[in-house]
């Protein structure tokens, strides 16, 4: 029987991210298994412990620029109701299709803090959703 991660969009990995960390801190969310490739579709940021509006992240292949999935993205729209809010982060296609990232076995998908939150010790959970396929 085929694994569901190969046939449907699924939660591939997640981690708690310290948005108040100094810039250029990378957090790995997923490592592609042997014999597979990974296609990321979206990130969900949730479980905020306070309102954020200064944090800037990038996401992509870990260990490098970490911006192939999304470039500098400011985490806005998390206000007073932060405990009940989440953010959907993804490349947005328009009339021209978006070329997306495909990770090979052993490569990691990560987020990187490029501008830290200075209002307090802000953390959130970052989830990467996507699918695996045979390499």
Distance CA 40, CA 101 (A): 7
Looking at mean pLDDT, say which of 23-27, 95-99, 101-105, 115-119 comes out highest: 101-105
pLDDT at 38 over 80: yes
Question: Rounded mean pLDDT of 74-82?
Answer: 82
Does any domain span residue 3? no
Burial (CB < 10 A; 0-12, 13-18, 19+), residue 69, is: buried
Token code pair at residue 109? 């998908």
pLDDT at 1 over 90: no
Does any domain span residue 130? yes
pTM: 0.88
According to the model, what pLDDT value does residue 8 have?
82
According to the model, what pLDDT value does residue 5 have?
66
CATH number of the domain residue 84 falls in: 2.60.120
Does any domain span residue 23? yes
CA 123 to chain centre: 14
Mean pLDDT, the chain, whole residue set: 88
> What is the number of domains present in the chain?
1
Does any domain span residue 80? yes
Q: Which of 125, 124, 106 is nearest to 62 (CA)?
A: 106
Question: Rounded mean pLDDT of 72-99?
Answer: 83
Does any domain span residue 30? yes
Q: What share of the chain is helix, strand, coil (3-state, %, to 5)?
A: 5, 45, 45
């Amino acid at each position: 029987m085929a694994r569901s991660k190969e046939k449907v969009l699924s939660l591939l990995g997640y981690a708690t991210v310290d948005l108040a960390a100094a810039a250029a801190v990378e957090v790995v969310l997923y490592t592609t298994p042997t014999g597979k490739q990974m296609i990321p579709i979206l990130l969900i940021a949730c479980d905020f412990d306070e309102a954020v509006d200064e944090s800037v992240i990038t996401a992509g292949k870990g260990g490098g620029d970490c911006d192939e999935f999304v470039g500098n993205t400011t985490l806005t729209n998390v206000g007073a109701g932060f405990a009940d809010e989440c953010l959907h982060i993804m490349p947005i296609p328009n009339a021209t299709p978006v070329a997306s990232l495909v990770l090979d076995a052993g490569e990691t998908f990560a987020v990187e803090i490029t501008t830290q939150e200075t209002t307090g010790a802000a953390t959130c959970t970052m989830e990467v959703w996507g699918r695996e396929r045979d390499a």
